């Protein structure tokens, strides 16, 4: 689609263009314009809501390897320790391999409700532009 050129009215055309930004809602002072020959365009620059994280944690599975467990024990034979009557026993157990399975789970920080802010603006009078939120604006006055 091409650009359409509209011929300006006799002695007409654009008289003044004012551009700026507002950090929040409120009134913006502009150079005086004829509100009957002007219009405002507002571009919102803010959003509202939150973004929450969500994910699935996969199952964590693995194996414990087989191995030897050595335990030392003392068996007392009923004789005094200095007579050489004590004996020591060593017990050696073998453990088998075991499967380890941990369930999967979900990770969630809530719900997402992020929305682009809809910001509006209007000329309250010839020198005041009223906007509803953070925005960039353009006021165009025709001759």
Decide if 64 is inside a domain.
Answer: yes
Our count of domains for the chain comes to 2
23 belongs to a structural domain: yes
Indicate whether 123 and 140 sit together in one domain: yes
Specify the pLDDT at position 22.
93
| Residue 6, in any domain of the structure | no
The answer to whether residues 45 and 114 belong to one domain is yes
The answer to the question of residue 4 being in a domain is: no
Whether 99 and 67 share a structural domain: yes
At residue 33, φ and ψ (nearest 5 deg) are: -130, 160
Q: Read off the tokens for 46.
A: 């803010």
State whether 99 and 64 are in the same domain: yes
Does residue 9 fall inside a structural domain?
no
Same domain (yes/no): 48, 118: yes
Cα–Cα distance between 88 and 82 in angstroms, integer?
A: 14
Query: Do 28 and 44 share a domain, yes or no?
Result: yes
Instruction: Judge whether 139 and 38 are in contact, CB under 8 Å.
Output: yes
Range of the domain at 47: 15-53+110-143
What's the pLDDT at 127? Answer: 94
Instruction: Show the tokens assigned to 142.
Output: 């025709």
Pairing of strands 47-48, 115-116: antiparallel
Low-confidence ranges of the chain (pLDDT < 50): 1-6
What residue spans of the chain are helical by DSSP H? none
């Amino acid at each position: 689609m091409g650009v359409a050129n509209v011929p300006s009215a006799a002695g007409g055309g654009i008289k003044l263009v004012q551009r700026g930004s507002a950090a929040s809602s409120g009134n913006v002072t502009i150079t005086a314009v004829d509100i009957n020959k002007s219009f405002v365009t507002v571009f919102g620059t803010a959003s509202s809501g939150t973004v929450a994280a969500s994910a699935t944690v996969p199952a964590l599975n693995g194996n414990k390897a087989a191995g030897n467990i050595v335990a030392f024990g003392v068996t007392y034979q009923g004789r005094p320790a200095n007579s050489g009557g004590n004996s020591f026993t060593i017990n050696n157990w073998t453990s088998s391999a075991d499967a380890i399975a941990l369930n999967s789970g979900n990770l969630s920080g809530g719900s997402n409700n992020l929305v682009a802010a809809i910001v509006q603006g209007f000329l309250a009078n010839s020198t005041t532009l009223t906007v509803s939120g953070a925005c960039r604006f353009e006021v165009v006055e025709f001759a």
